[in-house]
Structure 1
Amino acid sequence: MSDEDDFGIGGLYENGRWLWDERQKRIVFLSNLRPKVDEFDLYYTQPSGVMEFREDVDIIEQLRYRRYFQRKLEPGQADVIRLQDIKDLVIYTAPVNFLSAKLINMLHTPTGERFLRALILYCGYSIQIEDAMRERDLELEKKVRTPDSDILEEEYRDNLGDLRILVAKEYCTILTGAGDMKPFHHMGPLKKRRSLIEKDARSFETFIRMCVQIVYLSLGRRYFNQIELETHRLLKSEAFNAVGHKSQGRDPKKGHIQEVLLGKCLRHDRQLKLHSPLMNEVFCTRQIDYRLKGLGVVKYPNLTTRLRYLRLAVAGPEEQMATESVIIGIIGMPRARFDTMLRILPTLTPEQKSKSTVLMSRSKQVSSVTKSCTTKQSLHMRTYPDIIIPPKESVEIAAPKGFSEDPDDINPVNEVQRRLWQSRFKMMMNLLTQRRKPRR
């Protein structure tokens, strides 16, 4: 074996850096320090089929993120977690080779934000109902089923169907390139270009992966597999759902649980007429309040308590969520309860604090054990309370003779953060092109 094989090109040997000189045929000493890690290496990874986000961000990187990239509070603004904070963290930890200027702009549009908030609300409520149905299934092994069970499960089914409508109406806007989504249509704003199928499919998969990560952080970094499965099931037909094919047989659901979670609008047609489950919700024949399909876009007078709740959850300001008891994961919660990476900080009750102080006075070993136990307990606690959607009113509302043409108050998008991420992305891509240039 040659010296080059032993030490490598620029390898480490006895705490130093050595380089094999081809002309002199000998090893040359360079430095006794390790090579400096460039900032670009922390963000760029070689292109691969899986989009992996960085979870092990060290303290220095967190300080850099807080100083340069974290959203700054405006005067008089409440210090609560916004959807923008979660988007910032996801873009910061995403590999640069998967990002694009189009994707960053797409996430910073009113339609994109309404889609993300509706998806967060639906996934959180769907996971909550699935857990409740599993508990009810265990209870039914010892109890007798009553007619009230059918009424409760029908309420769950209607709530999930209405939340899917909120996701579907924004998804239709994205697919058709309507409104503020015109620049992002795969055939151009005028829809006259040639459709680049491979490029469009790659952009679609990247967008779904970003949405999954945003929902995952919004729900307290829990239920990643369930969020990924449900998001792919909603947005894709069964033939193109590769994630669903891989997970078949892992966690089978019983018949009545599946009926509640999937709803009544799931259709099994021939391949040519097959739609994704979200499109099936739009064209479903079940009784739907017509105002759900324009909530947050069209200004409707005299909204019911249920519709006001859903409108605030999808398109309302985040500061009002805590006062109105609207829950969308960690959005709307005080930012002081979370660290830089949006992990909840451990909190102790007065009784636990008194116990911990007594234990700390006894010995350091006991205090370290109790500290680790309280940290584990805080990780397993629910980050946010349960989602309680107001019930439907008994009065049926028919479609009016004429629809309102007044637009609703649009929640403004943070343009400062959008320009910040665009400039960072351009800087990273310039570094990438410089590294790929051949040296003379």
Structure 2
Amino acid sequence: MADDEDEGEGGLYEEGHWIWDENANQIAFVSDRPVVEDEAIAMPTKMPTGAIEFRDDVDLIEQLRYRRRYQRKLKPEQPDVITVQDCKDIALYTAPVSILSPALINMLHIPTTERFMKALILCCQYYLQVSDEMGHRMMELETRVRTPYCDVVEQEFGTNLNDLRALAAKEYCTMLIGGADTKKYHHMGPAKKRRSLSDKDARLFETMLRMCVQIVWLALGRKAFNQIELEVNRLFKSEIFNAVEHTLKTNYVEKMTKEERNVLLGQCLRTEKKLTTKSPMMNEVFCYRDIDYRMMGIGVIKMNQMPLRLKYIYNIVAGPEEKYSTLGVSLGIVGMPRTSFDTMLKPLPTAEDAKSKKSLGSMSSGSAKSNSSLKKSGMGCGQRKLYADIHLPLKSEHDDAFPPSFPSEPEAPTPCNDVQRRRWLKRLQRLRRGQRASAGKRN
């Protein structure tokens, strides 16, 4: 098969290969297109348990193959910037084949999941930002007196985190109930009349959760993987069922001060019996606090007028990634020039990095010890900051006023990259076919 894959639908003898048919005694064409995309390859029969390791040691030959066959190709006059699709592509390329399925690939390429990914990246980016800030504040309180203004600042941090968690939670709820474009992936079928396939549903969402962690980590410049993984699993599974925490045994929640817990964990935590415990993600949606109703419709319902705060969030979740820099928003490395990163989205060294590395080598051990507080965020003295911090506009009192009527006109969904979706489906089918052929030879 040719190295370069066609991006269009092609003709009769495209997207396939020729073989010799022993029975017919002639050559025959075999198409590489999936026959029925969601059923051609079954879901993995076992629940993914333990640590699912993604490859991070992709050599230059594999990078060249990825760039030629699977990297997103630019359309004419399209700016060459990083998108969430680029992060999804690398996650799919480096993921173990055993956890991949057509349902997972298709689900990653629908508008609801796209908004969910952006909201989760935004939430984790702000969480890491506030976590670092709270760590510095707690260290400063050892030598300073706490003032009432501290409560005001920390309350603002907590409110912002609550809103960003609710933003991701509302998309996650849509996925759980099979709403909008996720009907096809509901475990009881689009009409919800089938017998419940709870095991299949659990496998799909467990794999999706691990894929989300990898995509968020890539989008945030490959920083603070353990913090991201711990927080994402806590949000979706609660502290009781956080398998990552049970494995790593960091006790990071117990190590937090009271002020850090109030800000980072939020106020919507419900203490219930183990089997009836709801995840913090669900609690954010059903929390007894003031939530701007318009935020629940961002990217879904068209709203003609929005305050600055919601406009900022809308630009990230539903706005064009190519215009992030001009819109003044930050979402990790998304929206940054792709030329500043290598094929695997690792930042390329700059002259500033070389100068910082040289100065770091001349530091005394005592000076290096004073920078230990920066270890938590992974932004040490010898590392540059890849992207800008998030600065959410403040809420204003008149923003919560109810309109005469609620908007009902749907927002036009941002289309996902269908070319990449079909490309990953074809690759999965080819890999699985190769595995079956190898197994047949061994038998």
1:328, distance to aligned residue in structure 2 (A): 0.6
Q: Does structure 2 conserve the Cα–Cα contact (< 8 Å) formed by 1:290 and 1:399?
A: no
Contact residue 347 and residue 378 of structure 1 kept, 8 A: no
Query: What secondary structure does 1:395 align onto?
Result: helix
Q: Which residue of 2 aligns with 1:29?
A: none
The correspondence for 1:398, drawn from 393, 398, 401, is: 401
Superposition pairs of residues 26-41 of structure 1, within 5 angstroms:
none
Given that 2:169 and 2:284 are in contact with CA atoms closer than 8 Å, whether structure 1 keeps it comes out as yes
Structure with larger Rg:
1
TM, length-normalised to structure 1: 0.81
The CA deviation string for residues 140-183 of structure 1, in whole angstroms up to 9 with x for no partner, is 11111111111101100110011011101100001000000001
Which string of whole-angstrom CA distances, capped at 9 and with x for unpartnered residues, describes residues 370-413 of structure 1?
xxxxxx98973222121111111232423445321211232220
Asked if the contact 2:71–2:86 (Cα under 8 Å) also holds between the matched residues in 1, the reply is: yes
Q: Which residue of 2 aligns with 1:115?
A: 116
Aligned residue in 2 for 1:334: 337
Percentage identity across paired residues of the two chains: 53
Decide whether aligned partners of structure 1 residues 378 and 186 sit closer, same or farther in structure 2, where only a CA change above 3 A counts: farther
Describe the shift of the 1:249–1:439 C-alpha distance in structure 2 as closer, same or farther (beyond 3 A): closer
* d(CA) in 1 for partners of 2:243, 2:380: 35
Of the three residues 422, 435, 440, the one matched with 1:437 is: 440
Query: Do the aligned residues in 2 keep the contact of 1:165 with 1:278 (CA within 8 Å)?
Result: yes
Q: Which residue of 2 aligns with 1:322?
A: 325
Deviation at 1:255, TM superposition (A): 1.2
Counterpart CA distance in 1 for 2:380 and 2:136 is 22
Aligned length: 375
Q: Which amino acid aligns with 2:392?
A: I
**Whole-Å Cα distance in 2 between the matches of residues 351 and 277 of structure 1?**
43
Tell me the distance in 1 between the aligned counterparts of 2:51 and 2:248: 16
> C-alpha offsets along residues 304-325 of structure 1, whole Å, 9 cap, x if unaligned?
1111110111111101111112
1:203-252 C-alpha deviation (Å, 9 max, x unpaired): 22111110000001111111111100111111113432222333445432
Structure 2 unmatched ranges of 5 or more: 1-45, 360-378
CA contact (8 A) 1:157 1:263 kept: yes
Which of residues 287, 299, 303 is equivalent to 1:296?
299
1:311 aligns with 2:304: no
AA matched with 2:270: R
- 1:361 aligned residue: none
In 2, the alpha carbon distance for the partners of 1:346 and 1:84 equals 24
Per the normalisation by structure 2, the TM-score is 0.80
For 2:102 and 2:339, how far apart are their aligned partners in 1?
31
Q: Distance in 2 between matches of 1:259 and 1:227?
A: 19
Q: Which amino acid aligns with 1:425?
A: L
Paired letter, 1:432: Q
Query: Take 1:386 and 1:87, find their aligned partners in 2: how far apart are those partners?
Result: 23
Aligned-pair distance for 1:49? 4.0
Code of the aligned partner of 1:167: A
Match status 1:287 vs 2:290: yes
Q: Please say if residues 301 and 409 of structure 2, whose CA atoms lie closer than 8 Å, have aligned partners that are also in contact.
A: yes
Asked whether the 8 Å contact 1:79–1:334 carries over to 2, the reply is yes
Closer/same/farther in 2, CA of residues 379 and 176 from structure 1, 3 Å limit: farther
SS at match of 1:380: coil
2: distance between equivalents of 1:433 and 1:240?
Answer: 36
Q: Is the 8 A contact 2:353 2:384 kept in 1?
A: no
CA distance in 1, matches of 2:250, 2:52: 25
1:315 alignment partner AA: A
Aligned to 1:41: none
RMSD: 2.3
Q: Which residue of 2 aligns with 1:219?
A: 220
Q: Could you say which residue in structure 1 is the equivalent of 2:179?
A: 178
Structure 1 partner of 2:243: 242
Change (3 A) 1:349 1:212: closer
Could you say which structure has the greater relative contact order, defined with CA pairs below 8 angstroms and 6 or more residues apart? 2
> In structure 2, do the counterparts of structure 1 residues 351 and 104 end up closer, same or farther at CA, with 3 Å as the change threshold?
closer
Distance in structure 1 (CA, Å) of the matches to 2:100 and 2:353: 46
